[in-house]
Structure 1
Amino acid sequence: MTKKLSSYCFLLLAFLTIFSCSSPDKDIKKTNILFVSIDDLRPTLGAYGDTVAITPNIDQLASEGMTFRQTFAQVAVCAPSRASLMTGLRPDSTRVWHLGDKFREINPNTVTMPQYFSKFGYHTVNLGKIFHNYMPDSTSWEEPDLRPAQFVREGWLNRDGETFYISEEVNRSQAVKRDSLLKLKPIRYADGWNTGPAWEAANVQDTMYYDGAQTELAKRTLTRLAKSDKPFYMGLGYFRPHLPFAAPKKYWDLYDPQKIPLAANPNVPENAPGYTMNSMYELRHYDGFNHIGHPQSAYRMSEDTSRILKHGYYASVSYVDALLGNLISHMKEIGIYENTIIIIWGDHGWKLGEHNSWGKMTNYNIDLKVPMIVRYPNQENRGAQTFEITELVDMFPSLCELAGIEIPDYMQGTSFVPLIKNPKRPWKSAAFSQFHRRPKVSADGKRYMGYSINTKKYHYLEWYSWDTKTGTRGELKGTELFDRENDPYEKVNISAERKLSKVVEDLSEQLANGWKKATPAIL
Structure 2
Amino acid sequence: MKISLAYLSLFFIFTACNKEKKMASVKQQKPNIIFLSIDDLRADLGSYGNSEIKTPNIDALAGTSMVMLNTHCQAAVCAPSRASTMLGYRPDSTKVWHLGDEFRKINPNAVTMPQYFNKAGYYTVNIGKIFHNYMPDSISWNEPDLKPFPYNTKEYAKRDAETYYYTEAALKDQKRKRDLLLEKRKDQKVYGDGWNRGPAIEGADVPDSLYFDAMQTQLALETIDRIKDKKEPFFMGLGLYRPHLPFVVPKKYWDLYPVGSVSPAANPKLPKNAPVMSANSNYELRAYTNPHKIGRPEDAPLPEAYADSLKRGYYASVSYIDACVGKLIAGLKERGLYENTVIVLWGDHGWKLGDHNGWGKMTNFYIDTHVPLIIKEAYQKEGKRIEALSELVDIFPTLCDLTGVDKADYLQGTSLTPVFKNPELEWKDAVFTQFRRRARVSKDGNEYMGYSMQTEQYHFIEWYQWDNDKKEKGDYAATELYDHYVDSDETVNIAENPDKKEIVKQLSKQLSAGWRGALPKKQVVINESENIRFSKIKS
TM-score category, normalised to shorter length: over 0.9
> Could you report, residue by residue, the CA deviation over 1:21-77 in whole angstroms, capped at 9, with x for unpaired residues?
999xx8674410000000000011000000101001000001011100000000000
User: Match of 2:69, SS?
Assistant: strand
> Could you report, residue by residue, the CA deviation over 1:317-354 in whole angstroms, capped at 9, with x for unpaired residues?
00000111011101111111011000100000000000
How far apart are residue 181 of structure 1 and its match? 1.8
User: Match of 1:420, SS?
Assistant: helix
How far apart are residue 210 of structure 1 and its match? 0.7
Alignment-mate amino acid for residue 189 of structure 2? I
How far apart are residue 176 of structure 1 and its match? 3.8
Q: Is the 8 A contact 2:79 2:101 kept in 1?
A: yes
Residues in 2 aligned to 1:190 and 1:392: alpha-carbon distance in whole angstroms = 27
Of 187-196 and 104-113, more deviation after overlay is shown by: 187-196
Alignment-mate amino acid for residue 506 of structure 1? Q
> Could you report, residue by residue, the CA deviation over 1:117-168 in whole angstroms, capped at 9, with x for unpaired residues?
0001100000000000121111111101000112233342121111101013
Residues in 1 aligned to 2:40 and 2:28: alpha-carbon distance in whole angstroms = 32
User: Which residue in the other structure is 1:278 paired with?
Assistant: 280
Q: How does 1:420-435 map to 2 (within 5 A)?
A: 420-435=420-435
User: Which residue in the other structure is 1:13 paired with?
Assistant: none
User: Which residue in the other structure is 2:386 paired with?
Assistant: 386
Q: Is the 8 A contact 2:30 2:404 kept in 1?
A: no
Q: Is the 8 A contact 1:283 1:289 kept in 2?
A: no
Q: Is the 8 A contact 1:125 1:232 kept in 2?
A: yes
Q: How does 1:120-519 map to 2 (within 5 A)?
A: 120-185=120-185, 186-288=188-290, 291-296=293-298, 298-379=299-380, 382-519=382-519
How far apart are residue 178 of structure 1 and its match? 2.1
User: Match of 2:277, SS?
Assistant: coil
Q: Is the 8 A contact 2:339 2:380 kept in 1?
A: no
How far apart are residue 229 of structure 1 and its match? 1.7
Residues in 1 aligned to 2:259 and 2:420: alpha-carbon distance in whole angstroms = 37
Residues in 2 aligned to 1:321 and 1:225: alpha-carbon distance in whole angstroms = 25
How far apart are residue 413 of structure 1 and its match? 0.5
Q: Is the 8 A contact 2:340 2:379 kept in 1?
A: no
Residues in 2 aligned to 1:252 and 1:522: alpha-carbon distance in whole angstroms = 49
User: Match of 1:257, SS?
Assistant: coil
User: Which residue in the other structure is 2:45 paired with?
Assistant: 45
Q: Is the 8 A contact 2:74 2:90 kept in 1?
A: yes
> Could you report, residue by residue, the CA deviation over 1:437-460 in whole angstroms, capped at 9, with x for unpaired residues?
011111111100000000001000
Residues in 1 aligned to 2:339 and 2:237: alpha-carbon distance in whole angstroms = 18
Residues in 2 aligned to 1:397 and 1:99: alpha-carbon distance in whole angstroms = 25
Residues in 2 aligned to 1:290 and 1:100: alpha-carbon distance in whole angstroms = 29
How far apart are residue 188 of structure 1 and its match? 2.3
Q: Is the 8 A contact 1:465 1:475 kept in 2?
A: yes
Q: CA RMSD in A?
A: 1.8
User: Match of 1:166, SS?
Assistant: coil
Q: How many residues align?
A: 503
Q: Is the 8 A contact 2:395 2:415 kept in 1?
A: yes
Residues in 1 aligned to 2:34 and 2:440: alpha-carbon distance in whole angstroms = 38
> Could you report, residue by residue, the CA deviation over 1:262-305 in whole angstroms, capped at 9, with x for unpaired residues?
01100000000111111111000111268321112x32200000
Residues in 2 aligned to 1:147 and 1:424: alpha-carbon distance in whole angstroms = 43
> Could you report, residue by residue, the CA deviation over 1:88-117 in whole angstroms, capped at 9, with x for unpaired residues?
010000000000100001111111000000
User: Match of 1:259, SS?
Assistant: coil
User: Which residue in the other structure is 1:7 paired with?
Assistant: none
Of 219-228 and 194-203, more deviation after overlay is shown by: 219-228
Structure 1, unaligned runs of 5 or more: 1-16
Residues in 2 aligned to 1:420 and 1:64: alpha-carbon distance in whole angstroms = 12
User: Which residue in the other structure is 2:85 paired with?
Assistant: 85
Residues in 1 aligned to 2:419 and 2:49: alpha-carbon distance in whole angstroms = 21
Report sequence identity in percent.
53
Q: Is the 8 A contact 1:33 1:341 kept in 2?
A: yes
Give the TM-score of the pair, scaled to structure 2. Answer: 0.91
Residues in 2 aligned to 1:503 and 1:263: alpha-carbon distance in whole angstroms = 29
How far apart are residue 18 of structure 1 and its match? 12
Q: Is the 8 A contact 1:284 1:290 kept in 2?
A: no
How far apart are residue 20 of structure 1 and its match? 11
